[in-house]
Amino acid sequence: MNISGQVVPGGNTVLRQVAAQLSREARRRLHWMDFYEHHGRNARLTCRHFGISPDVFYRWRKRFDPRRLASLNDDPRTRRPHRVRPPQTPPGVVERIRALREEYPRWGKAKLVVLLRREGIVLSASTVGRVLRRLKARGLIREPRRAHRRRGWQPRPHAHRLPPGYQVRQPGDLVQVDTLDVEVLPGVRRKQFTARDMVSRYDVVEAYGRATAQTATAFLALLLQRMPFPIRALQIDGGSEFKGAFEAACAARGLPLFVVPPYSPKLQSHVERAQRTHREEFYQVWEVDPQLATHRAQLQAWAHIYNTVRPHQHLNYLTPLEYCERHNHGKG
């Protein structure tokens, strides 16, 4: 490996070992210098390639010593001036800012400025922010506890993430499943399970009183029965109803089960769009009966219309069933 005209014995291995001792920014600058040497010492090409200004490159090029790669580290010497103007905020105002922050620990400097102004204390948000930083540094502000971040992916008995490069080409390759919360009457709520095939847009729906692992398992049996083609994989979110008995039922059937990461509704966009359609064209149009059995009958009547009568723009105005029939005919 040639860096600034100097041959590094051992090539890339030695370079990586030395670079590992540098800071992240220093390793980035080392890439600049290496690119510069291997491309005819063309500074403008280097700047364009890494998106940096010539001033920045030449400044570090001048500091770079190929025999001492640490020269690319930031200067540890502080640039803080020797004489710093002391804070001008009166101690009484500082104490009032501290008291307000203690009373409203989640409120930032902009809100505190408004509260202070109501008391006749006029300060800028920047000044309040500086006071808060100094109080934090001195340990005079009690910060509220923050919620623990969710733990990362926890292995599950059967479900896992969608493998990279998974191909969805024909009906049944991937069916997304989700639940929809609906209010039939004030105080009467139901859970609708919706399954949408990503290719044909064919939907299977059913209503239940609650969304549990048991109702999800019951819906799985209906889904496999009502879909007009074999299902090769399911995709779900991390809801508790899709764990336990539901996951075990998928494993028993040898049905691959993929779970999307938390806060990733875009990865379930097909079934999310289906939920919106069912809400707008069924629940906001039909007079849904409060009796669960009648509600289910109405929902199946709507599902029949949806899959066999309603034209779909995405399918070139075919119905999902027509699309499936043409797809099967084309394969034959």
The two three-digit tokens of residue 14, written as one number: 């030695």
Residue 280, amino acid: E
pLDDT at 5: 43
Q: How far is CA 161 from the centre of its chain?
A: 14
* DSSP letter assigned to residue 160: B
pLDDT at 11: 47
pLDDT at 6: 45
**Could you tell me where the beta strands, DSSP code E, fall in 67-121?**
none
Percent of the residues in the chain that have a pLDDT greater than 90, as a whole number: 61
- Tell me phi and psi for residue 139, to 5 degrees: 75, 25
Q: Are 226 and 220 in contact (CB under 8 A)?
A: no
Q: Which residues pair with 207 in a beta bridge?
A: 192
Worst-scoring range by mean pLDDT, 45-54, 116-125, 166-175, 263-272?
A: 45-54
Spatial distance between the Cα atoms of 282 and 127, rounded to a whole number of angstroms: 56
pLDDT band at 110 (very low <50, low <70, confident <90, very high): very high
